[in-house]
Chain A
Protein backbone atom coordinates (compact mmCIF):
# COMPACT_ATOMS: atom_id res chain seq x y z
CA UNK A 1 0.00 0.00 0.00
CA UNK A 2 2.73 2.42 0.99
CA UNK A 3 4.68 1.45 -2.14
CA UNK A 4 1.60 2.20 -4.21
CA UNK A 5 1.28 5.67 -2.67
CA UNK A 6 4.96 6.30 -3.31
CA UNK A 7 4.62 5.23 -6.92
CA UNK A 8 1.57 7.46 -7.28
CA UNK A 9 3.69 10.48 -6.38
CA UNK A 10 5.96 9.80 -9.32
CA UNK A 11 3.21 9.46 -11.93
CA UNK A 12 2.32 12.82 -13.49
CA UNK A 13 -0.50 11.14 -15.45
CA UNK A 14 -2.13 9.93 -12.27
CA UNK A 15 -1.61 13.19 -10.43
CA UNK A 16 -3.04 15.38 -13.20
CA UNK A 17 -6.00 13.02 -13.56
CA UNK A 18 -6.57 13.05 -9.82
CA UNK A 19 -6.45 16.86 -9.61
CA UNK A 20 -8.89 17.30 -12.52
CA UNK A 21 -11.26 14.69 -11.11
CA UNK A 22 -11.19 16.11 -7.58
CA UNK A 23 -11.72 19.60 -8.95
CA UNK A 24 -14.71 18.41 -10.93
CA UNK A 25 -16.12 16.57 -7.94
CA UNK A 26 -15.57 19.66 -5.80
CA UNK A 27 -17.41 21.90 -8.27
CA UNK A 28 -20.24 19.38 -8.56
CA UNK A 29 -20.66 19.15 -4.78
CA UNK A 30 -20.34 22.91 -4.36
CA UNK A 31 -23.18 23.42 -6.85
CA UNK A 32 -25.50 21.63 -4.42
CA UNK A 33 -25.07 24.38 -1.84
CA UNK A 34 -23.84 27.38 -3.83
CA UNK A 35 -23.79 28.70 -7.40
CA UNK A 36 -23.08 32.34 -8.38
CA UNK A 37 -26.74 32.66 -9.51
CA UNK A 38 -29.63 30.21 -9.25
CA UNK A 39 -29.00 28.08 -12.40
CA UNK A 40 -32.63 28.17 -13.55
CA UNK A 41 -33.08 31.92 -13.01
CA UNK A 42 -33.85 33.64 -16.30
CA UNK A 43 -32.86 37.22 -16.99
CA UNK A 44 -34.01 37.95 -20.53
CA UNK A 45 -32.71 41.56 -20.55
CA UNK A 46 -29.18 40.21 -20.15
CA UNK A 47 -29.44 37.31 -22.59
CA UNK A 48 -26.50 36.12 -24.73
CA UNK A 49 -23.91 38.22 -22.90
CA UNK A 50 -20.32 37.15 -23.60
CA UNK A 51 -18.07 35.89 -20.77
CA UNK A 52 -16.93 38.51 -18.21
CA UNK A 53 -19.48 41.08 -19.42
CA UNK A 54 -22.18 39.51 -17.25
CA UNK A 55 -21.14 36.92 -14.70
CA UNK A 56 -17.93 34.99 -15.14
CA UNK A 57 -18.86 33.03 -18.24
CA UNK A 58 -21.67 35.10 -19.72
CA UNK A 59 -25.34 34.19 -20.16
CA UNK A 60 -27.39 31.95 -22.47
CA UNK A 61 -30.45 32.75 -24.60
CA UNK A 62 -32.67 32.97 -21.52
CA UNK A 63 -30.14 35.15 -19.71
CA UNK A 64 -29.23 32.30 -17.36
CA UNK A 65 -25.75 32.41 -15.87
CA UNK A 66 -23.54 29.98 -17.83
CA UNK A 67 -21.10 29.41 -14.96
CA UNK A 68 -23.97 28.39 -12.65
CA UNK A 69 -25.46 26.13 -15.33
CA UNK A 70 -22.09 24.45 -15.86
CA UNK A 71 -21.66 23.88 -12.13
CA UNK A 72 -25.10 22.36 -11.70
CA UNK A 73 -24.57 20.41 -14.93
CA UNK A 74 -21.41 18.90 -13.42
CA UNK A 75 -23.43 17.40 -10.58
CA UNK A 76 -26.15 16.08 -12.91
CA UNK A 77 -23.67 14.62 -15.35
CA UNK A 78 -21.47 13.04 -12.67
CA UNK A 79 -24.31 11.61 -10.61
CA UNK A 80 -26.08 10.10 -13.64
CA UNK A 81 -22.82 8.61 -14.94
CA UNK A 82 -21.88 7.32 -11.51
CA UNK A 83 -25.21 5.55 -11.03
CA UNK A 84 -24.99 4.05 -14.53
CA UNK A 85 -21.48 2.72 -13.93
CA UNK A 86 -22.49 1.46 -10.48
CA UNK A 87 -25.32 -0.48 -12.11
CA UNK A 88 -23.08 -1.89 -14.84
CA UNK A 89 -20.19 -2.67 -12.53
CA UNK A 90 -22.25 -4.43 -9.86
CA UNK A 91 -24.34 -6.56 -12.23
CA UNK A 92 -21.35 -7.24 -14.51
CA UNK A 93 -19.02 -8.16 -11.66
CA UNK A 94 -21.62 -10.42 -10.10
CA UNK A 95 -22.13 -12.17 -13.45
CA UNK A 96 -18.37 -12.44 -13.98
CA UNK A 97 -17.39 -13.94 -10.62
CA UNK A 98 -20.38 -16.30 -10.44
CA UNK A 99 -19.58 -17.51 -13.95
CA UNK A 100 -15.94 -18.05 -13.02
CA UNK A 101 -17.14 -20.06 -10.03
CA UNK A 102 -19.59 -22.27 -11.97
CA UNK A 103 -18.23 -22.28 -15.53
CA UNK A 104 -19.84 -24.82 -17.91
CA UNK A 105 -23.01 -23.78 -19.73
CA UNK A 106 -23.31 -20.62 -17.65
CA UNK A 107 -20.10 -19.34 -19.20
CA UNK A 108 -21.44 -19.89 -22.72
CA UNK A 109 -24.69 -18.11 -21.90
CA UNK A 110 -23.02 -15.17 -20.18
CA UNK A 111 -20.47 -14.66 -22.96
CA UNK A 112 -23.14 -14.85 -25.70
CA UNK A 113 -25.29 -12.52 -23.62
CA UNK A 114 -22.41 -10.06 -23.51
CA UNK A 115 -22.05 -10.19 -27.30
CA UNK A 116 -25.75 -9.50 -27.68
CA UNK A 117 -25.89 -6.55 -25.29
CA UNK A 118 -22.74 -5.14 -26.83
CA UNK A 119 -24.35 -5.17 -30.27
CA UNK A 120 -26.89 -2.49 -29.34
CA UNK A 121 -25.15 0.87 -28.85
CA UNK A 122 -26.42 2.63 -25.69
CA UNK A 123 -27.67 5.56 -27.71
CA UNK A 124 -30.03 3.24 -29.58
CA UNK A 125 -31.22 1.35 -26.52
CA UNK A 126 -31.85 4.71 -24.86
CA UNK A 127 -33.91 5.69 -27.90
CA UNK A 128 -35.92 2.46 -27.67
CA UNK A 129 -36.54 3.05 -23.98
CA UNK A 130 -37.32 6.71 -24.53
CA UNK A 131 -39.85 5.84 -27.22
CA UNK A 132 -42.04 4.45 -24.44
CA UNK A 133 -41.13 5.92 -21.11
CA UNK A 134 -39.72 9.19 -22.42
CA UNK A 135 -36.22 10.55 -21.90
CA UNK A 136 -34.88 11.37 -18.46
CA UNK A 137 -32.31 10.43 -15.90
CA UNK A 138 -33.75 6.93 -15.43
CA UNK A 139 -33.63 6.15 -19.16
CA UNK A 140 -30.04 7.38 -19.38
CA UNK A 141 -28.91 5.37 -16.35
CA UNK A 142 -30.52 2.14 -17.56
CA UNK A 143 -29.29 2.49 -21.16
CA UNK A 144 -25.70 3.33 -20.19
CA UNK A 145 -25.62 0.90 -17.26
CA UNK A 146 -26.87 -2.06 -19.26
CA UNK A 147 -24.26 -1.40 -21.94
CA UNK A 148 -21.54 -1.47 -19.25
CA UNK A 149 -22.60 -4.87 -17.89
CA UNK A 150 -20.72 -6.87 -20.57
CA UNK A 151 -17.60 -4.74 -20.08
CA UNK A 152 -17.42 -5.68 -16.40
CA UNK A 153 -18.66 -9.26 -16.89
CA UNK A 154 -15.91 -10.00 -19.43
CA UNK A 155 -13.22 -8.29 -17.39
CA UNK A 156 -14.09 -9.94 -14.08
CA UNK A 157 -14.63 -13.34 -15.69
CA UNK A 158 -11.19 -13.47 -17.27
CA UNK A 159 -9.51 -11.98 -14.20
CA UNK A 160 -11.35 -14.32 -11.82
CA UNK A 161 -10.55 -17.37 -13.93
CA UNK A 162 -6.87 -16.52 -13.54
CA UNK A 163 -7.22 -16.28 -9.78
CA UNK A 164 -8.94 -19.68 -9.71
CA UNK A 165 -5.78 -21.29 -11.14
CA UNK A 166 -3.54 -19.93 -8.35
CA UNK A 167 -1.94 -22.19 -5.75
CA UNK A 168 -3.57 -20.41 -2.82
CA UNK A 169 -6.97 -21.13 -4.29
CA UNK A 170 -6.08 -24.78 -4.77
CA UNK A 171 -4.97 -24.79 -1.12
CA UNK A 172 -8.27 -23.19 -0.07
CA UNK A 173 -10.18 -25.85 -2.01
CA UNK A 174 -7.94 -28.46 -0.32
CA UNK A 175 -8.90 -27.34 3.18
CA UNK A 176 -12.54 -27.58 2.18
CA UNK A 177 -13.56 -23.94 1.75
CA UNK A 178 -16.75 -23.46 -0.22
CA UNK A 179 -16.63 -21.86 -3.68
CA UNK A 180 -18.63 -18.92 -2.41
CA UNK A 181 -16.17 -18.37 0.42
CA UNK A 182 -13.18 -18.59 -1.92
CA UNK A 183 -14.82 -16.09 -4.26
CA UNK A 184 -15.39 -13.70 -1.36
CA UNK A 185 -12.04 -14.19 0.38
CA UNK A 186 -9.65 -14.64 -2.53
CA UNK A 187 -11.13 -13.89 -5.93
CA UNK A 188 -12.81 -10.54 -5.27
CA UNK A 189 -9.90 -8.97 -3.34
CA UNK A 190 -7.49 -10.02 -6.07
CA UNK A 191 -9.49 -8.58 -8.94
CA UNK A 192 -10.66 -5.45 -7.13
CA UNK A 193 -7.90 -3.22 -8.45
CA UNK A 194 -8.78 -4.10 -12.04
CA UNK A 195 -12.41 -3.32 -11.31
CA UNK A 196 -11.50 0.05 -9.80
CA UNK A 197 -9.43 0.97 -12.86
CA UNK A 198 -12.25 -0.04 -15.17
CA UNK A 199 -14.83 1.90 -13.14
CA UNK A 200 -12.74 5.05 -13.55
CA UNK A 201 -12.37 4.61 -17.30
CA UNK A 202 -16.02 3.67 -17.81
CA UNK A 203 -17.07 6.77 -15.84
CA UNK A 204 -15.44 8.84 -18.56
CA UNK A 205 -17.27 6.91 -21.24
CA UNK A 206 -20.53 7.27 -19.30
CA UNK A 207 -20.11 11.05 -19.15
CA UNK A 208 -19.59 11.14 -22.93
CA UNK A 209 -22.65 8.96 -23.54
CA UNK A 210 -24.80 10.90 -21.07
CA UNK A 211 -23.83 14.12 -22.82
CA UNK A 212 -24.83 12.56 -26.14
CA UNK A 213 -28.19 11.46 -24.77
CA UNK A 214 -28.88 14.88 -23.26
CA UNK A 215 -27.87 16.45 -26.56
CA UNK A 216 -30.60 14.44 -28.27
CA UNK A 217 -33.05 15.39 -25.52
CA UNK A 218 -33.06 11.89 -24.02
CA UNK A 219 -31.16 12.77 -20.87
CA UNK A 220 -32.18 14.73 -17.82
CA UNK A 221 -35.46 16.58 -18.31
CA UNK A 222 -35.38 20.40 -18.39
CA UNK A 223 -35.06 22.69 -16.52
CA UNK A 224 -32.37 20.62 -14.70
CA UNK A 225 -29.16 21.84 -16.37
CA UNK A 226 -27.07 19.33 -18.30
CA UNK A 227 -23.94 19.81 -20.39
CA UNK A 228 -25.36 17.90 -23.35
CA UNK A 229 -28.54 19.97 -23.53
CA UNK A 230 -26.59 23.20 -23.16
CA UNK A 231 -24.76 22.17 -26.34
CA UNK A 232 -28.01 21.33 -28.10
CA UNK A 233 -29.42 24.74 -27.19
CA UNK A 234 -26.20 26.47 -28.23
CA UNK A 235 -26.61 25.09 -31.74
CA UNK A 236 -29.12 27.81 -32.60
CA UNK A 237 -26.69 30.58 -31.59
CA UNK A 238 -23.42 29.34 -33.11
CA UNK A 239 -22.87 32.58 -35.01
CA UNK A 240 -24.08 34.97 -32.29
CA UNK A 241 -22.74 33.28 -29.17
CA UNK A 242 -20.08 30.68 -29.99
CA UNK A 243 -18.95 30.53 -26.35
CA UNK A 244 -22.22 28.81 -25.49
CA UNK A 245 -21.08 25.88 -27.65
CA UNK A 246 -17.48 26.08 -26.48
CA UNK A 247 -17.82 25.98 -22.69
CA UNK A 248 -20.03 22.91 -22.03
CA UNK A 249 -17.96 20.89 -24.51
CA UNK A 250 -14.78 21.94 -22.73
CA UNK A 251 -16.33 20.84 -19.44
CA UNK A 252 -17.21 17.41 -20.88
CA UNK A 253 -13.79 16.97 -22.46
CA UNK A 254 -12.00 18.01 -19.28
CA UNK A 255 -14.05 15.63 -17.14
CA UNK A 256 -13.46 12.68 -19.47
CA UNK A 257 -9.78 13.55 -19.86
CA UNK A 258 -9.32 13.69 -16.09
CA UNK A 259 -11.05 10.36 -15.50
CA UNK A 260 -9.15 8.64 -18.32
CA UNK A 261 -5.81 9.90 -17.02
CA UNK A 262 -6.74 8.85 -13.50
CA UNK A 263 -7.77 5.40 -14.75
CA UNK A 264 -4.58 4.89 -16.76
CA UNK A 265 -2.50 6.20 -13.89
CA UNK A 266 -4.23 3.86 -11.45
CA UNK A 267 -3.61 0.95 -13.80
CA UNK A 268 0.11 1.78 -13.88
CA UNK A 269 0.21 1.94 -10.11
CA UNK A 270 -1.92 -1.10 -9.31
CA UNK A 271 -0.68 -3.39 -12.07
CA UNK A 272 0.93 -6.36 -10.31
CA UNK A 273 3.32 -6.87 -13.23
CA UNK A 274 4.79 -3.50 -12.42
CA UNK A 275 5.47 -4.03 -8.74
CA UNK A 276 9.20 -4.60 -8.67
Chain B
Protein backbone atom coordinates (compact mmCIF):
# COMPACT_ATOMS: atom_id res chain seq x y z
CA UNK B 1 0.00 0.00 0.00
CA UNK B 2 2.75 2.44 1.01
CA UNK B 3 4.75 1.73 -2.16
CA UNK B 4 1.68 2.35 -4.35
CA UNK B 5 1.06 5.58 -2.49
CA UNK B 6 4.64 6.72 -3.05
CA UNK B 7 4.52 5.80 -6.73
CA UNK B 8 1.25 7.61 -7.27
CA UNK B 9 2.53 10.68 -5.43
CA UNK B 10 5.69 10.81 -7.55
CA UNK B 11 3.58 10.49 -10.68
CA UNK B 12 1.35 13.30 -9.37
CA UNK B 13 4.32 15.59 -8.83
CA UNK B 14 5.81 14.84 -12.25
CA UNK B 15 2.46 15.48 -13.93
CA UNK B 16 2.07 18.79 -12.08
CA UNK B 17 5.59 19.85 -13.06
CA UNK B 18 5.09 18.99 -16.72
CA UNK B 19 1.73 20.80 -16.80
CA UNK B 20 3.28 23.90 -15.21
CA UNK B 21 6.17 23.83 -17.70
CA UNK B 22 3.72 23.37 -20.56
CA UNK B 23 1.49 26.25 -19.49
CA UNK B 24 4.46 28.52 -18.90
CA UNK B 25 6.07 27.68 -22.23
CA UNK B 26 2.86 27.99 -24.25
CA UNK B 27 2.09 31.36 -22.72
CA UNK B 28 5.67 32.40 -23.38
CA UNK B 29 6.09 31.14 -26.93
CA UNK B 30 2.93 32.69 -28.27
CA UNK B 31 3.49 36.15 -29.68
CA UNK B 32 2.83 39.25 -27.57
CA UNK B 33 5.00 41.08 -25.06
CA UNK B 34 3.40 41.64 -21.63
CA UNK B 35 5.45 44.78 -21.10
CA UNK B 36 4.31 46.23 -24.44
CA UNK B 37 0.72 45.29 -23.58
CA UNK B 38 0.97 47.02 -20.17
CA UNK B 39 2.51 50.19 -21.55
CA UNK B 40 0.44 50.52 -24.70
CA UNK B 41 1.70 51.54 -28.13
CA UNK B 42 3.01 54.98 -27.19
CA UNK B 43 5.78 53.80 -24.82
CA UNK B 44 9.39 54.70 -25.60
CA UNK B 45 11.88 51.85 -26.19
CA UNK B 46 13.72 52.80 -22.99
CA UNK B 47 10.62 52.56 -20.80
CA UNK B 48 9.78 49.27 -22.46
CA UNK B 49 13.25 47.87 -21.80
CA UNK B 50 13.11 49.06 -18.19
CA UNK B 51 9.77 47.37 -17.59
CA UNK B 52 10.94 44.20 -19.33
CA UNK B 53 13.91 44.16 -16.97
CA UNK B 54 11.70 44.82 -13.95
CA UNK B 55 9.38 41.96 -14.88
CA UNK B 56 12.37 39.71 -15.56
CA UNK B 57 11.32 39.33 -19.19
CA UNK B 58 14.90 39.85 -20.41
CA UNK B 59 15.99 36.61 -18.74
CA UNK B 60 16.12 33.33 -20.72
CA UNK B 61 13.08 31.03 -20.58
CA UNK B 62 14.43 28.34 -18.20
CA UNK B 63 15.47 30.98 -15.65
CA UNK B 64 12.07 32.66 -15.83
CA UNK B 65 10.28 29.32 -15.49
CA UNK B 66 12.32 28.37 -12.42
CA UNK B 67 11.75 31.78 -10.88
CA UNK B 68 8.03 31.50 -11.53
CA UNK B 69 7.89 27.94 -10.20
CA UNK B 70 9.89 28.88 -7.13
CA UNK B 71 7.43 31.67 -6.47
CA UNK B 72 4.42 29.39 -7.03
CA UNK B 73 5.82 26.87 -4.53
CA UNK B 74 6.15 29.61 -1.93
CA UNK B 75 2.65 30.87 -2.59
CA UNK B 76 3.93 33.91 -4.49
CA UNK B 77 2.17 33.91 -7.83
CA UNK B 78 3.57 37.23 -8.95
CA UNK B 79 1.83 40.53 -9.62
CA UNK B 80 -1.18 41.05 -11.82
CA UNK B 81 -0.18 43.27 -14.74
CA UNK B 82 -3.46 45.14 -14.74
CA UNK B 83 -4.62 45.12 -11.10
CA UNK B 84 -1.13 45.67 -9.70
CA UNK B 85 -1.87 43.38 -6.74
CA UNK B 86 -0.51 39.90 -5.90
CA UNK B 87 -2.19 37.21 -8.03
CA UNK B 88 -2.42 34.86 -5.04
CA UNK B 89 -4.68 37.35 -3.25
CA UNK B 90 -6.86 37.70 -6.35
CA UNK B 91 -7.21 33.91 -6.67
CA UNK B 92 -8.07 33.45 -3.01
CA UNK B 93 -10.65 36.22 -3.17
CA UNK B 94 -12.29 34.70 -6.25
CA UNK B 95 -12.06 31.17 -4.86
CA UNK B 96 -14.48 32.24 -2.13
CA UNK B 97 -17.12 32.35 -4.88
CA UNK B 98 -16.06 29.52 -7.19
CA UNK B 99 -15.45 26.91 -4.50
CA UNK B 100 -18.87 27.20 -2.80
CA UNK B 101 -20.45 27.32 -6.26
CA UNK B 102 -18.73 24.09 -7.35
CA UNK B 103 -19.44 22.33 -4.05
CA UNK B 104 -23.09 23.41 -4.09
CA UNK B 105 -23.42 22.17 -7.69
CA UNK B 106 -21.82 18.84 -6.83
CA UNK B 107 -24.06 18.37 -3.76
CA UNK B 108 -27.17 19.25 -5.79
CA UNK B 109 -26.25 16.90 -8.63
CA UNK B 110 -25.58 13.98 -6.26
CA UNK B 111 -28.75 14.69 -4.31
CA UNK B 112 -30.78 14.44 -7.51
CA UNK B 113 -28.82 11.77 -9.36
CA UNK B 114 -28.34 9.08 -6.71
CA UNK B 115 -32.00 8.67 -5.67
CA UNK B 116 -33.08 8.96 -9.29
CA UNK B 117 -30.54 6.42 -10.49
CA UNK B 118 -31.32 3.99 -7.66
CA UNK B 119 -35.07 4.16 -8.26
CA UNK B 120 -34.54 3.77 -12.00
CA UNK B 121 -32.45 0.65 -11.37
CA UNK B 122 -35.04 -0.79 -8.97
CA UNK B 123 -37.80 -0.34 -11.53
CA UNK B 124 -35.66 -0.89 -14.56
CA UNK B 125 -37.43 -1.13 -17.89
CA UNK B 126 -40.50 0.40 -16.22
CA UNK B 127 -42.00 3.83 -16.86
CA UNK B 128 -39.98 5.45 -14.04
CA UNK B 129 -36.79 4.16 -15.62
CA UNK B 130 -37.86 5.63 -18.96
CA UNK B 131 -38.51 9.04 -17.39
CA UNK B 132 -35.12 8.96 -15.64
CA UNK B 133 -33.55 7.99 -18.99
CA UNK B 134 -35.15 10.95 -20.75
CA UNK B 135 -34.04 13.22 -17.91
CA UNK B 136 -30.42 12.17 -18.21
CA UNK B 137 -30.41 12.37 -22.02
CA UNK B 138 -31.86 15.86 -22.03
CA UNK B 139 -29.81 17.24 -19.14
CA UNK B 140 -26.55 16.01 -20.68
CA UNK B 141 -27.45 17.73 -23.95
CA UNK B 142 -28.31 21.17 -22.58
CA UNK B 143 -25.47 23.68 -22.15
CA UNK B 144 -25.17 24.80 -18.51
CA UNK B 145 -24.90 28.46 -19.49
CA UNK B 146 -28.16 28.22 -21.43
CA UNK B 147 -29.89 26.68 -18.43
CA UNK B 148 -28.56 29.67 -16.51
CA UNK B 149 -30.22 32.06 -18.97
CA UNK B 150 -33.53 30.16 -18.74
CA UNK B 151 -33.38 30.21 -14.93
CA UNK B 152 -32.81 33.97 -15.01
CA UNK B 153 -35.83 34.41 -17.29
CA UNK B 154 -38.03 32.24 -15.05
CA UNK B 155 -36.91 33.07 -11.50
CA UNK B 156 -35.58 36.59 -11.84
CA UNK B 157 -37.33 38.32 -14.73
CA UNK B 158 -40.73 36.66 -14.49
CA UNK B 159 -41.10 35.63 -10.84
CA UNK B 160 -38.59 38.00 -9.26
CA UNK B 161 -37.66 35.46 -6.56
CA UNK B 162 -33.91 35.32 -6.98
CA UNK B 163 -31.23 37.77 -8.16
CA UNK B 164 -30.35 37.64 -11.87
CA UNK B 165 -26.66 37.95 -11.14
CA UNK B 166 -23.94 39.57 -9.10
CA UNK B 167 -22.63 38.54 -5.72
CA UNK B 168 -23.09 40.54 -2.52
CA UNK B 169 -20.04 38.97 -0.85
CA UNK B 170 -20.07 36.72 2.20
CA UNK B 171 -19.85 39.80 4.42
CA UNK B 172 -23.49 40.45 3.57
CA UNK B 173 -24.40 37.21 5.32
CA UNK B 174 -24.76 33.56 4.49
CA UNK B 175 -28.27 33.70 3.05
CA UNK B 176 -27.77 36.56 0.54
CA UNK B 177 -24.59 34.81 -0.59
CA UNK B 178 -26.30 31.45 -1.00
CA UNK B 179 -29.23 33.11 -2.74
CA UNK B 180 -26.88 34.56 -5.33
CA UNK B 181 -25.24 31.16 -5.89
CA UNK B 182 -28.42 29.08 -6.03
CA UNK B 183 -29.42 29.59 -9.68
CA UNK B 184 -25.85 29.29 -11.00
CA UNK B 185 -25.38 26.11 -8.98
CA UNK B 186 -28.59 24.60 -10.37
CA UNK B 187 -27.46 25.47 -13.91
CA UNK B 188 -24.07 23.89 -13.27
CA UNK B 189 -25.55 20.84 -11.53
CA UNK B 190 -28.04 19.84 -14.22
CA UNK B 191 -25.64 18.37 -16.82
CA UNK B 192 -23.68 16.70 -14.01
CA UNK B 193 -26.86 15.18 -12.61
CA UNK B 194 -27.66 13.68 -16.00
CA UNK B 195 -24.31 11.91 -16.23
CA UNK B 196 -24.39 10.77 -12.60
CA UNK B 197 -27.94 9.41 -12.85
CA UNK B 198 -26.81 7.16 -15.67
CA UNK B 199 -23.76 5.95 -13.77
CA UNK B 200 -25.71 5.39 -10.54
CA UNK B 201 -28.41 3.42 -12.37
CA UNK B 202 -25.90 1.19 -14.14
CA UNK B 203 -23.89 0.64 -10.95
CA UNK B 204 -26.92 -0.30 -8.85
CA UNK B 205 -28.15 -2.62 -11.61
CA UNK B 206 -24.73 -4.26 -11.58
CA UNK B 207 -24.63 -4.97 -7.85
CA UNK B 208 -28.34 -5.72 -7.43
CA UNK B 209 -27.84 -9.28 -8.59
CA UNK B 210 -24.69 -9.88 -6.54
CA UNK B 211 -24.71 -12.58 -3.89
CA UNK B 212 -24.47 -10.23 -0.93
CA UNK B 213 -27.59 -8.37 -1.97
CA UNK B 214 -29.42 -11.65 -2.48
CA UNK B 215 -28.25 -12.71 1.00
CA UNK B 216 -29.53 -9.45 2.45
CA UNK B 217 -32.93 -10.12 0.89
CA UNK B 218 -32.86 -13.76 1.95
CA UNK B 219 -32.30 -12.91 5.59
CA UNK B 220 -35.56 -11.01 5.48
CA UNK B 221 -34.52 -7.39 4.94
CA UNK B 222 -37.05 -5.31 3.07
CA UNK B 223 -36.24 -4.54 -0.56
CA UNK B 224 -35.57 -0.91 0.33
CA UNK B 225 -33.13 -1.76 3.13
CA UNK B 226 -31.37 -4.35 0.99
CA UNK B 227 -30.89 -1.78 -1.75
CA UNK B 228 -30.01 1.30 0.30
CA UNK B 229 -27.88 -0.41 2.95
CA UNK B 230 -26.15 -3.04 0.82
CA UNK B 231 -26.38 -2.30 -2.88
CA UNK B 232 -26.05 1.51 -2.92
CA UNK B 233 -22.83 1.82 -0.86
CA UNK B 234 -21.17 -0.61 -3.25
CA UNK B 235 -22.56 1.18 -6.27
CA UNK B 236 -21.14 4.48 -5.06
CA UNK B 237 -17.59 3.73 -6.25
CA UNK B 238 -18.35 4.39 -9.93
CA UNK B 239 -20.42 7.42 -8.94
CA UNK B 240 -17.51 8.91 -6.99
CA UNK B 241 -15.16 8.15 -9.88
CA UNK B 242 -17.45 9.87 -12.33
CA UNK B 243 -17.73 12.84 -9.98
CA UNK B 244 -13.94 13.13 -10.09
CA UNK B 245 -13.73 12.70 -13.85
CA UNK B 246 -16.49 15.24 -14.41
CA UNK B 247 -14.57 17.81 -12.42
CA UNK B 248 -12.94 19.15 -15.60
CA UNK B 249 -16.37 19.79 -17.07
CA UNK B 250 -17.59 21.33 -13.83
CA UNK B 251 -14.75 23.86 -14.06
CA UNK B 252 -15.40 24.54 -17.72
CA UNK B 253 -19.07 25.03 -16.85
CA UNK B 254 -18.18 27.34 -13.97
CA UNK B 255 -16.20 29.64 -16.29
CA UNK B 256 -19.31 30.05 -18.45
CA UNK B 257 -21.92 30.16 -15.71
CA UNK B 258 -19.98 32.77 -13.74
CA UNK B 259 -20.02 34.91 -16.85
CA UNK B 260 -23.78 34.47 -17.28
CA UNK B 261 -24.50 35.42 -13.67
CA UNK B 262 -21.75 38.02 -13.41
CA UNK B 263 -20.23 36.24 -10.41
CA UNK B 264 -16.78 37.44 -9.35
CA UNK B 265 -15.30 33.93 -9.39
CA UNK B 266 -12.15 32.37 -10.80
CA UNK B 267 -13.70 31.68 -14.18
CA UNK B 268 -14.67 35.29 -14.56
CA UNK B 269 -11.19 36.30 -13.40
CA UNK B 270 -9.66 34.17 -16.16
CA UNK B 271 -12.00 35.73 -18.69
CA UNK B 272 -11.28 39.27 -17.51
CA UNK B 273 -7.54 38.52 -17.54
CA UNK B 274 -7.98 37.39 -21.13
CA UNK B 275 -9.76 40.57 -22.20
CA UNK B 276 -7.11 42.66 -20.45
CA UNK B 277 -4.25 40.46 -21.71
CA UNK B 278 -3.08 39.98 -18.12
CA UNK B 279 -0.81 37.04 -18.82
CA UNK B 280 0.41 36.63 -15.22
CA UNK B 281 -3.16 36.10 -14.02
CA UNK B 282 -4.06 33.86 -16.98
CA UNK B 283 -1.04 31.64 -16.35
CA UNK B 284 -1.75 31.24 -12.68
CA UNK B 285 -5.48 30.68 -12.99
CA UNK B 286 -5.00 28.05 -15.72
CA UNK B 287 -2.32 26.37 -13.62
CA UNK B 288 -4.56 26.51 -10.57
CA UNK B 289 -7.52 24.94 -12.41
CA UNK B 290 -5.31 22.27 -13.99
CA UNK B 291 -3.67 21.43 -10.67
CA UNK B 292 -7.14 21.15 -9.16
CA UNK B 293 -8.17 18.65 -11.86
CA UNK B 294 -4.96 16.63 -11.46
CA UNK B 295 -5.21 16.52 -7.67
CA UNK B 296 -8.88 15.61 -7.90
CA UNK B 297 -8.07 12.64 -10.15
CA UNK B 298 -5.28 11.65 -7.77
CA UNK B 299 -7.73 11.71 -4.84
CA UNK B 300 -10.22 9.61 -6.80
CA UNK B 301 -7.42 7.11 -7.40
CA UNK B 302 -6.62 7.03 -3.69
CA UNK B 303 -10.28 6.75 -2.71
CA UNK B 304 -10.47 3.79 -5.05
CA UNK B 305 -7.58 2.08 -3.30
CA UNK B 306 -9.05 2.83 0.11
CA UNK B 307 -12.51 1.53 -0.78
CA UNK B 308 -11.61 -1.55 -2.79
CA UNK B 309 -8.96 -3.88 -1.32
CA UNK B 310 -8.92 -5.89 -4.55
CA UNK B 311 -7.34 -2.96 -6.38
CA UNK B 312 -4.54 -2.71 -3.82
CA UNK B 313 -3.52 -6.24 -4.75
CA UNK B 314 -3.97 -5.56 -8.45
CA UNK B 315 -1.98 -2.35 -8.54
CA UNK B 316 1.35 -4.01 -7.85
Seen from chain A, the residues whose Cβ lies within 8 Å of a Cβ on chain B are 112, 115-116, 118-125, 127-133, 204, 208-209, 211-212, 215-216, 231, 234-235, 238-239, 242, 245-246, 248-249, 252-254, 256-257, 260-261
Contacts and interface: CB of A to CB of B under 8 A. Distances in A.
A212 B252 contact: yes
A132 B30 CA distance: 6
A142 B27 CA distance: 15
Contact of B282 (A122, A128, A256): A128
A119 B256 contact: no
A242 B153 contact: yes
B195 to A, nearest CB: 11
Contacts of B285: 124
Interface string B18-39: 1100110011001110000000
A124 B26 CA distance: 13
B297 interface: yes
18 contacts: A112-B14, A112-B18, A115-B15, A118-B248, A120-B289, A127-B282, A131-B282, A132-B30, A132-B31, A208-B143, A209-B252, A212-B252, A238-B152, A239-B157, A245-B149, A249-B143, A254-B141, A256-B142
Given A128-B286, A211-B143, 12 more contacts: A112-B18, A119-B19, A119-B290, A119-B291, A119-B297, A120-B23, A127-B282, A204-B141, A209-B252, A245-B153, A249-B142, A249-B150
A198 to B, nearest CB: 16
B271 interface: yes
B145 interface: yes
A215 B141 contact: no
A120 B16 CA distance: 11
B143 A124 contact: no
B150 A245 contact: yes
A119 B294 contact: yes
A115 B286 contact: no
A143 to B, nearest CB: 11
Nearest to A123: B252
A122 B23 contact: no
A128 B279 CA distance: 9
Contacts of A257: 137-138, 141
Contacts of B291: 119
Given A112-B14, A127-B270, A212-B145, A260 B294 contact: no
A273 B229 CA distance: 32
Contacts of B26: 128
Interface string B102-146: 000000000000000000000000000000000001101111011
A238 B153 contact: yes
Interface of B: 11, 14-15, 18-19, 22-23, 26-27, 30-32, 137-138, 140-143, 145-146, 149-150, 152-153, 157, 164, 248-249, 251-252, 255-256, 259-260, 270-271, 274, 277, 279, 282, 285-286, 289-291, 293-294, 297
A182 to B, nearest CB: 29
B59 to A, nearest CB: 20
Chain B interface main SS type? helix
A248 B157 CA distance: 19
B52 to A, nearest CB: 18
A121 B145 contact: no
B5 to A, nearest CB: 18
B150 A256 contact: no
Nearest to A256: B141
Contacts of A216: 255-256, 259, 271
Nearest to B12: A115
Contact of A212 (B143, B149, B152): B143
Given A235-B260, A253-B142, A256-B141, A116 B18 contact: yes
A9 B143 CA distance: 30
A205 B166 CA distance: 29
B30 A115 contact: no
B157 A242 contact: yes
A124 B289 contact: yes
B146 A123 contact: no
B149 A231 contact: yes
Given A118-B248, A231-B149, A249-B146, A123 B255 contact: yes
Contacts of A242: 153, 157
Greatest chain B CB density within 10 A among A123, A131, A248 is at A131
Greatest chain A CB density within 10 A among B149, B286, B297 is at B149
A215 B18 contact: no
A131 B277 contact: yes
Contact of A238 (B141, B149, B274): B149
B282 A235 contact: no
Nearest to B147: A249
Contact of A123 (B14, B23, B256, B297): B256
Given A216-B271, A235-B260, A131 B279 contact: yes
A248 B146 CA distance: 9
A254 B30 CA distance: 37
